[in-house]
Amino acid sequence: MRRSKSFLAICLITAISIVLILAFLLNISGLTTYGVNELTGLAKLFVLNIPDPTKPWSSHAFEIVTAILWDQRGLDTYFETSVLFLAIVASVALLSYYGRRHVHEGTGDGYTTMIVKVVTKLVVPIIAVVSASIAIHGHLTPGGGFQGGSVFVVAPVLMLLAYGSRFLSSRGFNELRLLAIRALSVTLIFVVGLLPVLYLLTHGTAYLFQNTYKPDSAFTYPYLIPTPIGMILTAGSIMIYNILEFFAVAAGFTLAILLLTREFERGDKK
Amino acid sequence: MIDWILFYIGLALTLLGGVMDLIASIGFFRFKDFYMRLHAATIGAIGGGFYPLIGLALIALSLDLDIYIKAYISGVCVIAAALIALTAPAGSHILARATHRSGEVVPKVVVDRIKEDMDKGDGEQ
């Protein structure tokens, strides 16, 4: 069925007029300029306290979202990571049951070309470097461990689509190793969060997932490390959490996509 | 003097990118076939993404700013443009090839070399 031109014109005019009316209503109601220069409530507490090293509740990190995720609500984020870990374990249990009987690993020769292989080879290192910088600078610029790990997963996806799953498996990206990296990273995150509690046993007050010193607790991770080229701001445990979370997310998603690609390459033949 | 030349070349490239994007969007709706629409989309990626980024890099170089800021902005623009120029043709190439091989869309062409090769059995490479 061929749509008429008047129908398209009516649709276009309706869409444009809806947008214009909404913009007009937003403007006359004053919602677009409401409180743009003022901080209110909780936002004032976070924005004024977290990046300021002179305040007692500071996290010594400039990126407030990452600081809230790993310092102010670190235990919550740890359980989110654990939920993701359980999901990965469940999908491995489902998918690798068939894979262990007769592993079919394709080389991708049937459906890729030389153009795609060359471009993939050029782009994959760039993706890896960008994802590592997103994770390591997580306490300074927008980003963090989860975001960096998610960006890194694009590289294995490209490799799997261009070269097939045998290419990655023959270079050390096998199931057990990826699952081990994932489990080790999640465990280490919890150990880093648990260290203040061990301090509490001998020295007085400390909190689970504590980052830097608090008014009633002297425990602190080193947040300014002196080096020969100057001071390096690591924001206490936030940088450690970001790097560990980067490895956890990258390994977990790579594992899930590796198993799914094997299923895809196996096709319908049983 | 060189600043003005760079600025106007960059402005011209940016405007050219806008015109290319407009052409691509019109073509995307007006072309009949999948492959022709893919052609229009590639015009949007290269003409509407690559040229304006190079133009922005030149404009940033021509501004009266600190050399570090200028180098940062234009460097980011050039890297992004290089990535687009590298990946967009490969992506549209494999998209068209996969569509042809799956048989979802039969191209309306006079000569179809891929189909001839596939019929002979050479299409697997």
Closest CA to A115 of B85, B84, B93, B38: B93
Copy the structure tokens of residue B106.
């039969």
Region B13-22 average pLDDT: 93
**A109 exposed, middle or buried (CB, 10 Å; 0-12, 13-18, 19+)?**
exposed
Using CA coordinates, name the residue in chain B closest to A161.
B94
pLDDT at A101 over 70: no
Please name the residue that has the structure tokens 């049937």.
Answer: A110
Of the candidate ranges A77-86, A87-96, B14-23, B92-101, the one whose mean pLDDT is the lowest:
A87-96
Region A128-153 average pLDDT: 89
pLDDT of residue A104: 59
Say if B90 is an interface residue toward chain A (CB within 8 Å). Answer: yes
pTM of the model: 0.78
Q: Which residues of B touch A112 (CB under 8 A)?
A: 94
pLDDT at A267 over 80: no
Say if B108 is an interface residue toward chain A (CB within 8 Å). Answer: no
Interface contact flag, B94 A109, Cβ < 8 Å: no
Closest CA to A91 of A249, A247, A254, A256: A256
Q: Which residues of B touch A123 (CB under 8 A)?
A: 83, 86-87
Please name the residue that has the structure tokens 């994802």.
Answer: A131
Instruction: Tell me the shortest Cα–Cα distance from A11 to chain B, in angstroms.
Output: 15
Provide the residue type at A119 as one letter.
Answer: V
Convert the pLDDT of each residue in A193-220 to its tens digit: 888 888 777 777 778 888 887 777 777 7
What secondary structure letter does DSSP report for A214? B
Say if B97 is an interface residue toward chain A (CB within 8 Å). Answer: yes
Copy the structure tokens of residue A114.
């030389």
Q: How far apart are alpha carbons B62 and B52 in whole angstroms?
A: 15
Q: Which residues of A touch B98 (CB under 8 A)?
A: 111
pLDDT of residue A85: 86
pLDDT at A99 over 60: no
Region B22-41 average pLDDT: 89
Residue in A110, A116, A123 closest to B94 by CB: A116
pLDDT of residue A17: 95
Q: A225, A60 in Cβ contact below 8 A?
A: no
Say if B26 is an interface residue toward chain A (CB within 8 Å). Answer: no
Convert the pLDDT of each residue in A7-56 to its tens digit: 888 999 999 999 999 988 888 887 777 767 777 778 888 888 888 888 88
pLDDT at B124 over 80: no
pLDDT at A165 over 70: yes
Convert the pLDDT of each residue in B35-72 to its tens digit: 888 999 999 999 999 999 999 999 998 888 888 888 99
**A15 exposed, middle or buried (CB, 10 Å; 0-12, 13-18, 19+)?**
exposed
pLDDT of residue A42: 82
Q: A223, A125 in Cβ contact below 8 A?
A: no
Say if B87 is an interface residue toward chain A (CB within 8 Å). Answer: yes
pLDDT at A102 over 50: yes
Region A164-174 average pLDDT: 78
pLDDT at B125 over 50: no
Enumerate the domain spans of chain A. Answer: 43-266
Say if B83 is an interface residue toward chain A (CB within 8 Å). Answer: yes
pLDDT of residue B22: 93
**Bigger pLDDT: A109 vs A4:** A4
Q: Which residues of B touch A119 (CB under 8 A)?
A: 86-87, 90
pLDDT of residue B55: 93
Choose, out of B87, B118, B122, the residue to mutate when testing the contact with A (most A CBs < 10 Å).
Answer: B87
Instruction: Tell me the shortest Cα–Cα distance from A117 to chain B, in angstroms.
Output: 9
Share of chain B above pLDDT 90, in %: 38
Interface contact flag, B125 A122, Cβ < 8 Å: no
Q: How far apart are alpha carbons B108 and B32 in whole angstroms?
A: 10
Residues facing A231 on adjacent strands: A226
Mean of the per-residue pLDDT values for chain B? Answer: 87
Q: Three-class SS of residue A233?
A: strand
Interface contact flag, B97 A123, Cβ < 8 Å: no
Q: How far apart are alpha carbons A173 and A170 in whole angstroms?
A: 7
Half-sphere exposure of B84 (CA within 13 A, CB side): 20
Residue in B83, B89, B124 closest to A110 by CB: B124
Q: How far is CA A232 from the centre of its chain?
A: 23
pLDDT of residue A98: 53
**Bigger pLDDT: B110 vs A151:** A151
Q: Three-class SS of residue B31?
A: coil
